[in-house]
Every structure is written in structure tokens, then in C-alpha cells.
Structure 1
Amino acid sequence: MTAASSPAVPVPSVPPALEVTDLHVRFAYPRPAVSGISLRVDRGEIVALVGESGSGKTMTARAAIGLLPDGATATGSVRVDGREILGLPEKDLARLRGDRVAMVFQEPQTALNPVQTIGWQLRQALTRHSGLSRAAVRARAVELLRLVDLPEPEVRVGYYPHQLSGGQKQRVVIALALAGDPALLLADEPTTALDVSVQREILELLVRLRERTGAGILLITHNLGVVAEIADRVVVVQLGETVETGDVGRIFAEPSAPYTRQLLAAVPRLDTASRDSRRHAAHGPTPVVVVDGVTVEHPGSFGSNPHVALSDVSLVVESGEVVGVVGESGSGKTTLGRAIGGLLPLAGGRILLDGDDLAELSGKDLRAARRRIAFVPQDPTASLDPRFTVAESIREPLEIQRIGDRRSRAARVAELLSAVQLPTSFASRLPHELSGGQRQRVALARALSTDPKLLIADEPTSALDVSVQARVLELFAQLQADIGFAALFISHDLAVVRQVSDRVTVLKSGRVVESGSATRIFVQPATDYTRTLVHAVPAPDPERDRLGRELLPATS
């Protein structure tokens, strides 16, 4: 028999990094957490799992790493690198974690041990998953940090987490996940807590790692712009069931399911009209807030020089308008909001509220001034007392400010619940009985209880799903138009800021880079820094803005 006629030697096929078939996860609740989800992630592929909170995304990922909560029962099949996960003994699952499957968490600060160096934490992971010597382990730790593009890895391997920025900490978390050379990476909202430019760096890193390591990546996210930029395929889930699945281009161009169309329609976009082009605020004769050359310093530690958080910052918020504040982490956005709210001392400059200098007020006058300012926090779960009912949370500012009597306060609670579109029956509920969007509505009602002239909203929607975010932003705009309060809207999500703001101030390293109308800032940014921020925003359009393709030219 000639060589040409010899039978071909069969080539063993590589199993998928993850194959989930008809997965059901049940608790002691009427509705299953997961009800028949199926998906596949091949080696070297990024598959996005999208859907609202409660859709089964995280439970599917936890099933893939063998970390389902106590009391959960799972049926179906979950195979990682060809091995069945469901039913494996814990000792086998422990060996599998890190070696074949690893997880990248949403919040790197809580994923890292604050009292141990980065090198120590990497050594623990490497020692567990390899038989390398101590010297080889350190060399591999440095190699992993270099793989995730951490600057000066030989030096930073000896750093503690608090010495790194948010983006650098996330790179360390990814390096830890890669320590065992896994076939599958589970990335659970890996960029939600990051500002737009750092988010882009992490997305670029994930794409490079997919190419360098050949690992499959299951990306769990509610940011459809992120999905459009890096995913190969998309799986859309709702209430524990698969709604549709397909190539990323097809899903975004021709979604077949009404739910998918609903999610896409809710995404804020930079190419939509800004508030300033749709309406004109009815400005009063006196601005609500004037920030005039404000400098804020934080004390240095162990005798070091003070850290200048804000330097000669000026802006004006007029009656009936929303001023957006954007910039990277550490730019001074939150510090500015806290300073305007009278929560930080000033090292220079002044802040006028309705013409009154806050630094010169005391006693009753200061109490009356603070009544005119309210905050909407980023995380309503942390801001609402878990022991207080909804009514008690909304009523508390009225009691602190000694506004009204018991009957008028009860009427005010009912009025505010109606204003934020919650049933009056919610008054007796506790925070844990509400969804994230409902809790944020309660936080809005609480902030509005004293009828403030200025609302300071610090990242009020960053923790919400895209559709819930859309409803909260719509409610915010409606309340602002109806009541007429002025607002300072702080966010790292530039598309959200464009949607809600009349004017925008851009901060960098505690200084104002530029200010102007929302349309001008986002369509014709005047500085390279602002252009960098605008072009880093993920767009929900795989054909227009895909990592690895040339981006649209900057508008000069």
C-alpha cells in the first residue's frame, strides 16, 4: 500500500472549554434559578452571557466552577475541558479549580488579601497548582504579571494591593486566575467598577490573553457595549432560560427575541441627542451653586506632604440644570461632590449655595443650608439601613431636619413613593425585599424628601442592569423636569452623562480640563484627554467599534 493510499491517522479533537447542556438549578423557591440553559465556549473564544439580575448568569458560572450555594440542586450537564462537573466530589472540584477553570471577579479590592503582597498571593496559587521550586515560583509570578501587562512586574510583585490602582488590581486578579493555566476563564462583570479608559485596557488585555493562552472566556456582563467590542458569540438569558444565542454581529443587527431588542434599546449611546439640544433650563437670577477656585487637600501619612485632591476647581450649577462631572478614577469627581455637600474642608477657594458661603455659616443657618442639598449614592443597598422599612428610610431626613409632624411626614412618604413610581404598599417593606432598581428609587425618594435645591448623584446607576438603569434614568429626568431641582451628576459612564446632562465638566488629576455644553464636549472635545475618554466608550455596535479594528478618527 502506498503512502498516498494509507488511511489517515485520526487527530484527537479538543473538547470545548465549557459545554453546558440543559442546566437546571433549583432552590426552595417557586421559580428555578436556572431553567434549561445550554451554551458552549470553545478554546480561544469569548462568549458573552447577558441578561438582567436574576436571569441565571452568575448561577450558570458558579455551576461551571462547582461553587453552587448550599441547598441548591443542579441537573443537566456541565463539562469543563471535557470533564463533567456536576456530581464531582469536593476534593476533585478543588483540584479542578484553578487548573482547568478559574474566575475573574467584579471587584478586585475584595478578591485580594489586603495584608499580603501580590507576590505572596501569586505564590500561594502557583504552589497549589505546580511543583515548582521557590525561585521558579517567583520567576513565574513575575512572568504572570508581565503577561497581564502590569508595569514593572519585578518591583510590583512586592507591592500590597493598596499600592495599586483599580485597573492594576484587576490585572493582578487576572494573573491569579491564569496561575494554573486554565482552559476556561469565567469573567464576572470584570470591568463594571472601572472607569472608561481603564475598562478599555482590561478589555484589550482579555482579547490578548485569549490569543496568547488559547483559553475560552465566558464573559458575564450587563454592558452591551463591552459585548459588542470583544465577544464572538452571545447568549441572552431571561428568568433562568435561554432567550436566544448567536454570532455577536447577528444578535446586534437582527435580534430575534423581543427581550434582546428591549436590552439593546435600553443602552445609553454617545450618538444620541443631549439634554441641552432638547430643552433649555429656566435659569434663575442666582446660580444654585458656585464653586470658585476650590482646592481640597487630604492629609499625608507618616509626615508626608498633603495630597491635593482638587486644585483651583471652578464650576457653576444653575437653577433647573444638570451638570455632569466625568473623569478617570482619582480625578476628584467624588471629592468635588463631597466638598459641595459640605462634607470636606477647603484648603482654598469658596463654595456658594444660593449666594451663601458655606464656610461662613454655622448653627441654624448651616442646618438650613444642608437641608437644601441631598445625595443619591452609588449603592443603595449600603446606604439604606437594613433594619428600616422603606417608609422609615424616606422619613428619616424629615425627622433629622425637624420638618413637619407625624401626619405630614406620612403624607410626604406616600407622595414621594408615588413620585418615584412605587406602590404605597412598599412603605412597609425592608430593603432586602426590593430589587436593585426599586432600592435606587427609594434612595431617590429619600434624597427628595426635604425638597432640596441641589441633588448630588454619585454614580447612581453604575451597579444596575442596563434596562433597570434606563428606567431609573428616565425617572430621574422626569423628576428633575417636574420638580426643577438642580443636579450634579457624577459618573464614569460618559454615555449616561450625555443622556442626562445640560453641561459637562471634565476633571483630570484634580483639575478642570474643559467645560461646556454636553453636545460640544462629546461631539467636539477640545482636549486630547477628553477625546481619549470619548473614544474609549464601548459602543453597542460590533460593526462600528470593535477592538482590533481601527477606531473612528477623533473629532477636532
Structure 2
Amino acid sequence: MTDHSVPAAERGTPALEVTDLHVTFDYPRPAVAGISLRVDRGEIVALVGESGSGKTMTAKAAIGLLPSGATATGSVRVDGQEVLGLSEKELTAIRGERVAMVFQEPQTALNPVQTIGWQLRQALTRHRRLTRAQARARAVELLELVDIPDAADRASYYPHQLSGGQKQRVVIALALAGEPALLLADEPTTALDVSVQREILDLLVRLRDRTDAGILLITHNLGVVAEIADRVVVVQLGETVETGDVRQIFAAPAAPYTRQLLAAVPRLDVASRDGRHHAASASDGPTPVVVVDGVTVEHPGSFGSAPHVALSDVSLVVEPGEVVGVVGESGSGKTTLGRAIGGLLPLSGGRILVDGDDFTELSGKDLRAARRRIAFVPQDPTASLDPRFTVAESIREPLEIQGIGDRRSRAARVAELLSAVQLPTSFASRLPHELSGGQRQRVALARALSTDPKLLIADEPTSALDVSVQARVLELFAQLQADIGFAALFISHDLAVVRQVSDRVTVLKAGRVVESGSATRIFVQPATDYTRTLVHAVPVPDPERDRLGRELLPAG
């Protein structure tokens, strides 16, 4: 493959210099209020802070993508050129050539109706005068650079034919097409499971070493920061509060806000809550809330292809008051299991008992009554809450649908639930867009608990939240679960979160149960190579320990 790396003489020169950046809108508080940072060639700098701290606005300023109505002052220099004040034509010339962005969600960054090879060729010919054959060859080189297997063949694939991790690799290849000095990576691993996340992080490090591009990594995952960052810039409410070498920041953070962020990180090396519950047969104690017995779920194939087996002979038990975590890579069947237990998918085999009732034998009014015992907490409350409904209307709606209570009792229930999720009763009249992400997730919890369910199915309920908000939501979840006593199926690709909240854990791989057991046993003494791989892939918020682990792992 052609060597496109930057000469060693350029290492250490600034790829990005941000000086006293202010970004304001028609709001009382500026989005960015004096952030300064520097990213050198061949360096990974992590920009961390809570939602609303100005991280993404800083990156958008560097690539000239600030929203209309924004006013930016200060200085933003990319590869030596001032960006603020450039015309759209001038900005277009530097995008891709000097600076490129890797987005959080690759599915929305790729054109679904064009092959990935076509999209790469378009990016290449925009920046270079290449013949069709040269562009085709370089597109394959880029796919090989980001470790896409069988790159020459995969160039003819459409995005939907690739896994989530492969799509993210293609987005990185697109960003590298113009050989930029600076890569802006905005939460590039948030939507990925732990093993794919590890592969993408390893890839970013190798690309940094090979191309000598500077990388500004925007993330709320401090384990990721410890894994690959050279330096850290911590921002709060649009201002820089601390900056320094990653080891120094993690070992001796100077700012109280940085200490608060680090304290909020869930870890695998802390005691979990297991030991209170153990699976038992119905004759040994109370009726289990859920019994999944040999369940198989098949999705019909298209155009004559064979059906896809999403779950195969899966069994598990959730006892009263117990939290069972479900972990596994993308495509392992985690969400399918939750939907099947909720009665939202037909079974191809096996049975599901909820509070002793067989869902496969219920229909009509009996099925609707049984479903009242189950509630869902979604990953993204913004998408699940009707934007036209107030908080009170969103919480009250399940009660109205199920015909529970009258107007007065429903209003009292709304007030009770707002108090339970630690929101002021004044929030009842607010709309979803008037709430923060953590507040919306609290409303989603209150809505799920409105019908007093016996089982809560939480599908990635904190993956979209920054670390400190996630910590508060998890504390609230644990408190509500202890106070109310509902059982829960907690689905997540974040193993540290699962350990924190779960009594027992079930590990899925390709639709099958690999192993089950107490949270401590699964994460401290995993019985299978697959679980050990998942546990080892979890980024640890400790630069010394985690980088030592990286050196012990084979590359790739």
C-alpha cells in the first residue's frame, strides 16, 4: 500500500489551536465562554465534560459548521489557518483537506443508496485529481487502512450490508480521504458494543501513529480517555476548567469538577449488588416474575433466503425484586429478548411466563391485562416522549390507556411519581424539549412506573447520557428498585453499568446463552472465552492499568 504518512519533521506542530473561543446565540448563557486548547500532529487530545459544556460547539467551530445564528469570537486555527471569519467557499476548501469529522452515528453519515466504494471515490476526487482507476485503487487502500476485511469486495457493499463497527470504519476512511491534519472524533464509540469499541479505539491509535494526524476526541467515557488520550481538556459550562497530561489528570485532578466526573465513572473493579437473590424454582419460594423457557425467535428471510434466528433456545429466570443484566455484542439478541418478554414479538419456540401466566396462551383482554405488569424504559427518551405532551400528560397517558383511576387519582399519581424520580412538581407543565437528557430519562422512568409494573425492561437506558448524569440516573434506578421492589431486566453493552445495578447476569452471543451467574462471578471469574473477551475489552478509567493491558493484547 502507498505510504501517505506525514514526515516526522511535522510531528509536534499544531493541528488545532483554539484561543479564547466564545460562541453565543440569543440565549442568556453562551454555548462556549472562553475555551482554549491545542492539538499537535500525532497527538490525541480528549475534550470531556457534561452535556452542554461546549464540546461539540468547539469541534463545529473548527470545521466551520456552527449553526446559523451563532456568533463566534476568539481564534480557531486549523493546520495554521484561521477558520473563524472564512466564507463558505473557503471553508469548503479546508474541509477534508485540513480537517475532517468522524460522527457518532455512522448510519446517518453514510448515503444508504450508494456503495461505500462510490462514496469514497466521491470524497477522493473532490480533494485530488485522480483518474477513475486511481480513485478506485485508493478507495480500496483506505478500506484496508481501517481494517475492513476483503476490502476490494466490500467496496461494492451498501452501508446496510455492514455491521455497526464496519460502518464506523468506513466513516473514518472517508475522513482520511483528504489526508487531513486534524480529525474531529465526536463520540465515535458511544453507539458500539464493548468489543467493537475496543477495535475502533485501537484503530484510532494506529491511524494516529501512521498518519501523524492530530485527533480531538470528544467523549463522555473516561475509560476511553484513559485508553487512548495523550492529554485531556476538561470543560464545564463552556469554560476550560483543567488541562494536562492524561496520567496527571487521572492521578491528581486539580479541579473539583474533574474529581466529580472521575468519581461518577462506573467500574468493573467495585463490588456489585449481587448476593441478595438467587434463581429458584416456583416450589422453593415466590412465583418468579419472568420465566423464559427455551425461547426461539426467528425473523423471516427476504427474497427466498433462510430465516434469521435471533434467539435460539434461550432460558432465564427473573425473581421478584431482582435485577438481571443482559450483556453481549451487537446482534447477540439482547433487545430481541426484551421485546419477546414484553410480548412484542411472536415466538418460534419455547414459552414465556410472566407472573405465572403463559404469554403464548393469552389473547385479547387477558393479554392486555398481563402486559400491564411489564413496562419499558427506552434508550432515548427524546424519541419515546411525545413532544406535544407535557410531562404530566406523558406520565398520565399509560393510566388513561389502561383505564386506571379517575382524573383526581391520576393527578395524585403523577405528583407521587415526580417526587419519586426527584423532579419538582412544577415540571409537570413542561414539554420534553424544556428538559435536559437526564431529566427526560427521569420522566421516562416515572412513565414506566405509572401502572405499578412487576417487571421493568430497561434497554440501554443510560448509554446516551454523559457520565455524571448517568451516575445520578443509576442511583435513582437503584433507589426506586429498592423502595418499590419491582424486578428488572437491564440490557446494556456497558458491562460496568450492568455490574453496578445487577444481581445476576446473562451473557448472550449470536442468540444463545453463553453463561449466567452472579454479577461478581461473571465479571471476576468468567467461565467462557467470550465473556473474558468482553470483560477485557472494557476501558478502565486508569491510564497506567489500561495501557498496560493494551500492550498485552495482540494488535487488531
Q: Same fold (TM over 0.5)?
A: yes
Flag the 1:279–1:249 CA change in 2: closer, same or farther, 3 A: farther
The answer to whether the 8 A contact 2:14-2:38 is kept is yes
Instruction: Return the alpha-carbon distance in structure 2 between the equivalents of residues 274 and 166 of structure 1.
Output: 30
Flag the 1:334–1:12 CA change in 2: closer, same or farther, 3 A: closer
Cα offsets for 1:428-449 (capped at 9, x unmatched): 0000000000000000000000
The answer to whether the 8 A contact 1:503-1:516 is kept is yes
Instruction: Return the alpha-carbon distance in structure 1 between the equivalents of residues 470 and 287 of structure 2.
Output: 32
Q: CA deviation at 1:377?
A: 0.3
Q: CA deviation at 1:15?
A: 3.8
Q: CA deviation at 1:362?
A: 1.6
Matches within 5 A, 1:323-362: 323-362=324-363
Q: CA deviation at 1:5?
A: 35
Instruction: Return the alpha-carbon distance in structure 2 between the equivalents of residues 39 and 305 of structure 1.
Output: 54
The answer to whether the 8 A contact 1:204-1:547 is kept is no
The answer to whether the 8 A contact 1:15-1:82 is kept is no
- Three-state SS of the structure 1 residue aligned to 2:114 is coil
Instruction: Return the alpha-carbon distance in structure 2 between the equivalents of residues 396 and 361 of structure 1.
Output: 24
- Three-state SS of the structure 2 residue aligned to 1:446 is helix
- Three-state SS of the structure 1 residue aligned to 2:4 is helix
- Three-state SS of the structure 2 residue aligned to 1:324 is strand
Choose from 241, 249, 266 the match for 2:239: 241
The answer to whether the 8 A contact 1:281-1:321 is kept is no
Q: CA deviation at 1:552?
A: 9.0
**Total equivalences in the alignment:** 552
Q: CA deviation at 1:303?
A: 1.2
Flag the 1:36–1:316 CA change in 2: closer, same or farther, 3 A: same
Q: CA deviation at 1:171?
A: 0.2
Q: CA deviation at 1:243?
A: 0.4
Q: CA deviation at 1:364?
A: 2.1
- Three-state SS of the structure 2 residue aligned to 1:277 is coil
Instruction: Return the alpha-carbon distance in structure 2 between the equivalents of residues 430 and 120 of structure 1.
Output: 43
Q: CA deviation at 1:83?
A: 0.5
**Which residue of 2 is the match for residue 151 of structure 1?**
149
Flag the 1:7–1:553 CA change in 2: closer, same or farther, 3 A: closer
**Which residue of 2 is the match for residue 292 of structure 1?**
293
Q: CA deviation at 1:261?
A: 0.1
- Three-state SS of the structure 2 residue aligned to 1:237 is strand
Q: CA deviation at 1:90?
A: 1.1
Name the Cα RMSD after superposition: 4.5
Q: CA deviation at 1:14?
A: 6.7
**Which residue of 1 is the match for residue 15 of structure 2?**
17
Q: CA deviation at 1:330?
A: 0.1
Instruction: Return the alpha-carbon distance in structure 2 between the equivalents of residues 541 and 196 of structure 1.
Output: 17
Q: CA deviation at 1:538?
A: 0.2
Q: CA deviation at 1:340?
A: 0.2
Q: CA deviation at 1:94?
A: 0.3
Which stretches in structure 1 are left out of the alignment for 5+ residues? none
**Which residue of 2 is the match for residue 440 of structure 1?**
441
The answer to whether the 8 A contact 2:208-2:214 is kept is yes
Instruction: Return the alpha-carbon distance in structure 1 between the equivalents of residues 544 and 2 of structure 2.
Output: 50
Flag the 1:3–1:150 CA change in 2: closer, same or farther, 3 A: closer
Cα offsets for 1:243-270 (capped at 9, x unmatched): 0000000000000000000000000000
**Which residue of 2 is the match for residue 515 of structure 1?**
516
The answer to whether the 8 A contact 1:161-1:169 is kept is yes
The answer to whether the 8 A contact 1:431-1:439 is kept is yes
Q: CA deviation at 1:12?
A: 8.9
The answer to whether the 8 A contact 1:288-1:453 is kept is yes
Cα offsets for 1:59-115 (capped at 9, x unmatched): 000000011111111111100000000111111100100000000000000000101
The answer to whether the 8 A contact 2:11-2:212 is kept is no
Range that drifts further, 364-373 or 533-542: 364-373
Flag the 1:215–1:259 CA change in 2: closer, same or farther, 3 A: same
The answer to whether the 8 A contact 1:227-1:540 is kept is yes
Instruction: Return the alpha-carbon distance in structure 1 between the equivalents of residues 507 and 6 of structure 2.
Output: 70
Instruction: Return the alpha-carbon distance in structure 2 between the equivalents of residues 418 and 272 of structure 1.
Output: 30
- Three-state SS of the structure 2 residue aligned to 1:550 is helix
Which stretches in structure 2 are left out of the alignment for 5+ residues? none
Flag the 1:146–1:547 CA change in 2: closer, same or farther, 3 A: farther
Flag the 1:459–1:3 CA change in 2: closer, same or farther, 3 A: closer
The answer to whether the 8 A contact 1:308-1:510 is kept is yes
Instruction: Return the alpha-carbon distance in structure 2 between the equivalents of residues 133 and 4 of structure 1.
Output: 18
Flag the 1:144–1:376 CA change in 2: closer, same or farther, 3 A: same
Cα offsets for 1:515-542 (capped at 9, x unmatched): 0000000000000000000000000000
Cα offsets for 1:130-178 (capped at 9, x unmatched): 0010000000000000000001100000000000000000000000000
The answer to whether the 8 A contact 2:11-2:41 is kept is no
Flag the 1:14–1:338 CA change in 2: closer, same or farther, 3 A: closer
The answer to whether the 8 A contact 2:277-2:322 is kept is no
**Which residue of 2 is the match for residue 271 of structure 1?**
269
The answer to whether the 8 A contact 2:6-2:212 is kept is no
Instruction: Return the alpha-carbon distance in structure 1 between the equivalents of residues 321 and 171 of structure 2.
Output: 44
Cα offsets for 1:320-367 (capped at 9, x unmatched): 000000000000000000000000000000000111100111222111
**Which residue of 2 is the match for residue 261 of structure 1?**
259
The answer to whether the 8 A contact 1:545-1:551 is kept is no
Flag the 1:553–1:152 CA change in 2: closer, same or farther, 3 A: closer
Choose from 19, 38, 41 the match for 1:40: 38
Matches within 5 A, 1:215-230: 215-230=213-228
- Three-state SS of the structure 2 residue aligned to 1:98 is coil
The answer to whether the 8 A contact 2:142-2:177 is kept is yes
Flag the 1:295–1:68 CA change in 2: closer, same or farther, 3 A: same
Q: CA deviation at 1:278?
A: 7.2
Instruction: Return the alpha-carbon distance in structure 2 between the equivalents of residues 31 and 6 of structure 1.
Output: 41
Cα offsets for 1:406-431 (capped at 9, x unmatched): 11111100000000000001000000
Flag the 1:460–1:6 CA change in 2: closer, same or farther, 3 A: closer
Q: CA deviation at 1:39?
A: 0.3
The answer to whether the 8 A contact 1:281-1:320 is kept is no
Flag the 1:448–1:211 CA change in 2: closer, same or farther, 3 A: same
Q: CA deviation at 1:7?
A: 24
Instruction: Return the alpha-carbon distance in structure 2 between the equivalents of residues 7 and 43 of structure 1.
Output: 11
The answer to whether the 8 A contact 2:22-2:72 is kept is yes
Instruction: Return the alpha-carbon distance in structure 2 between the equivalents of residues 2 and 542 of structure 1.
Output: 33
Instruction: Return the alpha-carbon distance in structure 2 between the equivalents of residues 468 and 278 of structure 1.
Output: 27
Q: CA deviation at 1:368?
A: 1.1
The answer to whether the 8 A contact 1:210-1:216 is kept is yes
Flag the 1:376–1:197 CA change in 2: closer, same or farther, 3 A: same
- Three-state SS of the structure 2 residue aligned to 1:460 is coil
Q: CA deviation at 1:3?
A: 35
Flag the 1:300–1:206 CA change in 2: closer, same or farther, 3 A: same
The answer to whether the 8 A contact 1:21-1:39 is kept is yes
Q: CA deviation at 1:280?
A: 8.1
The answer to whether the 8 A contact 1:229-1:547 is kept is no
Instruction: Return the alpha-carbon distance in structure 2 between the equivalents of residues 209 and 221 of structure 1.
Output: 18
Flag the 1:281–1:351 CA change in 2: closer, same or farther, 3 A: closer
Flag the 1:258–1:7 CA change in 2: closer, same or farther, 3 A: closer
- Three-state SS of the structure 2 residue aligned to 1:99 is coil
Identity rate, percent? 90
TM-score (norm 2): 0.96
Instruction: Return the alpha-carbon distance in structure 2 between the equivalents of residues 434 and 37 of structure 1.
Output: 25
The answer to whether the 8 A contact 1:325-1:488 is kept is yes
Q: CA deviation at 1:549?
A: 3.9
- Three-state SS of the structure 2 residue aligned to 1:286 is coil
Instruction: Return the alpha-carbon distance in structure 2 between the equivalents of residues 3 and 544 of structure 1.
Output: 33
Instruction: Return the alpha-carbon distance in structure 2 between the equivalents of residues 3 and 330 of structure 1.
Output: 36
Q: CA deviation at 1:503?
A: 0.1
Instruction: Return the alpha-carbon distance in structure 2 between the equivalents of residues 182 and 452 of structure 1.
Output: 53
**Which residue of 1 is the match for residue 397 of structure 2?**
396
The answer to whether the 8 A contact 2:276-2:503 is kept is no
Instruction: Return the alpha-carbon distance in structure 2 between the equivalents of residues 14 and 346 of structure 1.
Output: 58
TM-score (norm 1): 0.96
The answer to whether the 8 A contact 2:12-2:42 is kept is no
